[in-house]
């Protein structure tokens, strides 16, 4: 069932969204990834050629690097801009009334019993 359904979804994902997914996949791991590995990681019936095109676009923007000394054809994320962004973020977080806290964040804090309940959920237990 997942096959056709997710293939249909993949087609509907925009180029910008796919770019984000590939970039997110590269950042999620410490080691460089080949296009094939990225394809397997993202899933959703994405064509190998599409992954390649996206990587080329990210490379042209300077967001990913070809791994020179590692495996041929593998890519890793470029750190410069991301480090600048992190610096700006930490600066904003450290400053007085937290401007970032004012934003809607993906998640906020937890109590100990909530933490236990969430761990149970992730362990595949009952909901």
Partner 1 sequence: MRIDVYTPLVVSLLLSVVAPVVVGRVGPALAARVLTSAAVLTAVATTWSLVLLATALLGDAPPVVREAREDGHRLVDPVPEAVGVAAAAALAVVAWRVYRAVRAERRTRRALRRLCAGQPADTELVVAASQVPRAFAIPGRPGRILVTSAMLSALEPAERRVLLAHERAHLAHRHGALVTAATLAAAANPLLGPVRSAAVFLVERWADEQAAAAVGDRRTTARALARAALTAGRSGPACALNFTDRSVTLRIAALLAGPPPRLWPAAAAVLALGALPALLAADATSDLLALLSGALH
Enumerate binding residues for partner 1 (CB under 8 A). Answer: 5-6, 9, 16-17, 19-21, 23-25, 27-30, 41-43, 61-63, 77, 79-86, 88-90, 92-93, 95, 97, 99-111, 114-115, 117-119, 121-122, 127
Q: Nearest approach, Cβ of 51 to partner 1 (angstroms)? A: 13
Of 69 and 96, which CB lies nearer to partner 1 in the complex structure?
96
Q: Nearest approach, Cβ of 17 to partner 1 (angstroms)? A: 7
Q: Nearest approach, Cβ of 47 to partner 1 (angstroms)? A: 17
Q: Nearest approach, Cβ of 84 to partner 1 (angstroms)? A: 5
Query: DSSP string of 52-79?
Result: HHHHHHHHHTTSEEE-SSSSTT-EEE--
Q: Cα angle at 22 between 10 and 62, to 5 degrees?
A: 135
Of 72 and 104, which CB lies nearer to partner 1 in the complex structure?
104
CA-CA distances (angstroms) from residue 11 to 46, 52, 106? 8, 16, 26
Of 71 and 95, which CB lies nearer to partner 1 in the complex structure?
95
**What residues contact residue 22 under an 8 Å CB cut-off, 6+ apart?**
38, 42, 51, 54, 55, 58
Residue 45 in contact with residue 62, Cβ under 8 Å? no
Of 24 and 70, which CB lies nearer to partner 1 in the complex structure?
24
DSSP type of residue 46? -
């Amino acid at each position: 069932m997942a096959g056709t359904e997710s293939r249909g979804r993949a087609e509907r994902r925009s180029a910008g969204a796919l770019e984000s997914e590939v970039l997110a996949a590269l950042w999620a791991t410490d080691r460089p990834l080949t296009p094939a590995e990225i394809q397997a990681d993202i899933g959703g019936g994405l064509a190998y050629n599409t992954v390649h095109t996206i990587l080329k676009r990210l490379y042209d923007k300077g967001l990913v690097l070809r791994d020179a000394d590692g495996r041929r054809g593998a890519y890793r994320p470029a750190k410069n801009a991301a480090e600048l962004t992190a610096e700006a973020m930490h600066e904003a977080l450290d400053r007085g009334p937290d401007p970032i806290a004012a934003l809607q964040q993906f998640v906020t804090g937890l109590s100990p019993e909530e933490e236990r309940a969430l761990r149970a959920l992730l362990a595949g237990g009952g909901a």
